Homo-oligomer: A and B are copies of this chain.
């Protein structure tokens, strides 16, 4: 049997465009004489549709689109992911379903059994899990159709008490098909391949895997759809961060030679490609083309500018240099040099006049009091007002340039440098930002070496340095990784050799700045635990504080 895998970039709720993409792939598959074409989980509406699922209209439009597509499935079968109504009056109202379409109509519906509800997932919010198992019989092949998480219940401490493949294997399937919506992290490709290979070997069956590609606000789907033989060896792999399509002859899978791994294994390169995809899709899917950002001469805004330029084109990116009395000359020069190197237009807009006006307006209330955080923050906020004025006047989207280390410890000004429609580096630790800069500069000095070498500083008061109030970033980031990504307890972290008082201070900073992070822009997720929808913390609480 010839099976086509269609790895596509869907737009959530855009049924017209998603349907068109699916029909185009069906036409292509027919041309290549495929017997069956497979689309990802929840392909019809895009993933994750979140609370759009609470509108019956949204579900009805999903099903109507599937039914419309079915009329094009003569001479070819198709499997399409879609939400559907649960026919049982007991339990939640919806299923996360896969429709098997044949002879121009829906012939079978398979529901997802394991509903992920951790990190960024909240499928139990919407769906009733499947409890009945049935393989699909088609052209003398028995297909074990599973939906994403259905294959992930492995290990000695499994998250679920049932295992769909343990049920399906009793019906002697010939292949495992998995339709997925599995978002990227820089560790995900490795984990995903291990899990799929484990399933192939465990059940001694080939695995065909079809994933989403493209970014959905903070979530970046990397694609990487693949075929493994029954030994768990990779025999076919689709593109990363781009749409792709292939046709596989299932009779030839076991005879196929193992292919070598893709080159996508350098962390900085993976993150770089993911962020470019994330920026590009955020703008496309909101119908915007132009970005603006504040370029300080520091490494964070430099890396963000380069990523924006790659995603949107140099003609669509604008940099504002917003010097204050505390900005060093070299900062402005470094910023100019970068903008000129990559050909992005920039303006130098001093904040001194507006800062003086604020000082004068506030003088009756502040006079005699020392310059402190209040004045530092006024500068950061003036920059935000200016950037947003350009945004409002000319239709730019403001990109936020804060990194994950800063976001973690609350080092940033709310309504100041924390502004922006999208946070590009909010899931990238400072040490990883340096790696990104090195990756960008791998052939030529694009980001000025000065921006990379100078000590990080917010430049909001004379001679300020980040290390005045924070540990060095190489230590801080390792500590934060243990606490945030790995959910390690303070005691465990201290037992690794981190200084006790530093650990306590840093975790106190992390937990007491939850209120600030609550109001930040959506953050492009590249790690296994990003701030935002995947990490949900109380605010008015007292834990490790």
Contacts and interface: CB of A to CB of B under 8 A. Distances in A.
A357 interface: yes
Contacts of A161: 88, 90-91, 128
Contact of A393 (B215, B353, B374, B489): B374
A511 B119 CA distance: 25
A269 to B, nearest CB: 24
A336 interface: no
A125 interface: yes
A533 to B, nearest CB: 8
Interface string A166-199: 0000000000000000000000000000000000
A124 interface: yes
A375 B357 CA distance: 17
Contacts of A372: 392-393
Interface string A80-116: 0000000011111100000000000000000000000
A381 B388 contact: yes
B538 A489 contact: no
A285 B124 contact: no
7 contacts: A17-B542, A46-B538, A49-B541, A50-B538, A54-B487, A215-B540, A385-B385
Given A88-B161, A216-B541, A362-B386, 16 more contacts: A12-B543, A14-B541, A48-B538, A52-B538, A55-B487, A58-B543, A89-B158, A91-B159, A118-B125, A122-B125, A285-B540, A285-B542, A349-B361, A382-B385, A385-B385, A533-B536
Interface of A: 11-14, 17, 46, 48-52, 54-58, 88-93, 117-118, 122, 124-125, 128, 156-161, 215-217, 281-282, 285-286, 347, 349-351, 353-354, 356-358, 360-362, 365-366, 369, 372-375, 377-378, 381-382, 384-386, 388-390, 392-393, 414-415, 419, 421, 487, 489-491, 515, 518-522, 533, 535-545
